[in-house]
Chains A and B, each alone.
Chain A
Amino acid sequence: MKTDVAPTLDGGSAQIPTDMPTANRPMNMGQSMNDNASRLDGIAKITGAAKYSSDMLLPNAVYARFVRCPFGAASLAGVDDAAAKKVPGIIDIEVVPKDCTYHGQPVGHIAGDSPIAVNRALKALRLQWKKQPVKVSIAEGAAIDPPQGEIDGADATLLAVYSTPVQTHSSLETHGGVVDHRGDKATVYASTQGTFSVRDGFGDAIGLKNADFEVVCEYVGGGFGSKLGGPGKELILAAKLSRKFNRPAYVMCNRAEEHLDTGNRPSSVTKVKLGFKKDGTCAGGEIRTYGGVGVAKGGGGVSIPSGRYTLGTIDKKHEDVSFNAGGPRAFRAPGHPQAAFAEELALDEIAAKIGMDPLDLKRKLARDDVYRAMMDEGAKLIGWKDRKANGSQKSVLRTGYGMGTAGWGSAPPGGNAEVVIHPDGSVESRTGTQDIGTGQRTTMGICTADAIGIPLGLVTVRIGRSTLPPGPGSGGSVTSPTTAPTMMAAATQARTKLLEAVAKQSGENAADFAVQDGVVLRRGERVLGWKEACALLPADGVSGTADTGDRGKGDSQGVQFVKVVVDCETGIVYPKHVIAIQSCGRVICRKTAESQIIGGVIQGLSYGLFENRILDRNVGAMVNANFEWYKILGPGDMPHIEPVLWARGQTGVKALGEPPTIPTAGALACAVFNAVGVPVRHLPLTPDKVLVALEGGKA
Chain B
Amino acid sequence: MNSFAVVQARSFADAAAAMSQKSYSLPVLKAGGIDLIDHLKEGLIAPDVLVDVRRVRTKDPITVSGDEIRIDATATLAEIAAAAELRAAAPVLAQAVENAASPQVRNAATAAGNLLQRPRCWYYRNEQFNCLKKGGPTCFAVEGENRYHAIFGDGPCHIVHPSNLAPALWVCDGVVHLTGSDRPSVPVRYLFHTPDKGVRTENVLAPGEVVTHITCKKAPASGFYAIKEKQSFDWPVVAASVVLELKGTVVQSATVCAGAVAPIPWDLRNVSLALRNVDVADDAALTKACSVAGRGAKPMSDNGYKVKLLPVAVKRAVLTAAGRKVEIDA
Residues of A at the B interface (CB closer than 8 Å) are 70-71, 116, 119-120, 123, 395-397, 565, 567, 569-572, 574, 576, 610, 614-618, 621, 623-624, 628-629, 631, 633-637, 686-688, 691-692, 695
Contact = CB atoms under 8 A, between A and B. Distances in A.
B231 A637 contact: yes
* Closest CB pairs A-B (n = 5): A634-B232, A636-B231, A636-B232, A688-B305, A574-B330
Contacts of B148: 629
A691 B123 contact: no
B206 interface: no
Contacts of B2: 120
A123 B46 CA distance: 12
B145 A687 contact: no
A688 B290 CA distance: 20
Contacts of A610: 229-230
Contacts of B230: 610, 631, 633-634, 636-637
Nearest to A119: B1
Contacts of B232: 634-637
Contacts of A576: 330
A616 B309 contact: no
Contacts of B227: 570, 572, 687
A623 B147 contact: no
Nearest to B121: A623
Contact of B120 (A70, A569, A615, A628): A628
Contacts of A628: 120
Nearest to B128: A70
B229 A618 contact: no
Contact of A572 (B126, B147, B304, B330): B330
11 contacts: A571-B309, A576-B330, A614-B145, A617-B145, A618-B143, A621-B126, A623-B123, A628-B120, A637-B231, A688-B302, A691-B308
A691 B305 contact: yes
B229 A396 contact: no
B327 interface: yes
Contacts of B229: 572, 610, 631, 686-687
Contacts of B328: 396-397, 567
Nearest to A625: B126
Given A120-B2, A623-B122, 11 more contacts: A567-B328, A571-B305, A571-B309, A572-B228, A572-B229, A572-B330, A621-B128, A629-B148, A631-B229, A634-B233, A691-B309
A681 to B, nearest CB: 17
A396 B326 CA distance: 11
A617 B147 CA distance: 13
Nearest to B143: A618
Interface string B196-212: 00000000000000000
Contact of A397 (B129, B302, B308, B330): B330
A631 B232 CA distance: 10
Interface string B300-324: 0010110011001000000000000
Contacts of A116: 1
Contacts of B140: 616, 618
A623 B305 contact: no
Contacts of B228: 572
B184 interface: no
B156 interface: no
Interface in B125-170: 126, 128-129, 140, 143-145, 147-148
Nearest to B303: A688
B237 interface: yes
Interface residues of B, number: 33
Interface in B43-64: 43
A87 to B, nearest CB: 11
Nearest to B328: A567
Contact of B147 (A123, A688, A691, A692): A688
Interface string B229-264: 111111001000000000000000000000000000
Contacts of B234: 631, 634
Nearest to B233: A634
Contacts of B231: 574, 634, 636-637
B71 to A, nearest CB: 26
B77 to A, nearest CB: 16
A562 B145 CA distance: 32
B302 to A, nearest CB: 8
Contacts of A123: 43
Choose among B144, B147, B230, B312 the residue with the greatest number of A CB atoms under 10 Å from its CB: B230
Contacts of A614: 145
A390 to B, nearest CB: 19
Contacts of B312: 569-570
Contact of A687 (B143, B309, B330): B309
A568 to B, nearest CB: 10
A195 to B, nearest CB: 32
A565 B145 contact: no
A623 B145 contact: yes
B327 A396 contact: yes
A614 B148 CA distance: 12
Given A621-B126, A636-B232, A687-B309, A397 B143 contact: no
Choose among B229, B231, B237, B305 the residue with the greatest number of A CB atoms under 10 Å from its CB: B229
B145 A567 contact: no
A616 to B, nearest CB: 5
A629 B122 contact: yes
A687 B148 CA distance: 12
B320 to A, nearest CB: 14
Contacts of A569: 312
B123 to A, nearest CB: 7
A616 B145 contact: yes
A634 B237 CA distance: 17
A637 B232 CA distance: 7
B305 A687 contact: yes
Nearest to B238: A570
A536 B329 CA distance: 67
A629 B126 CA distance: 12
Nearest to B147: A688
A567 B237 CA distance: 15
A536 B129 CA distance: 73
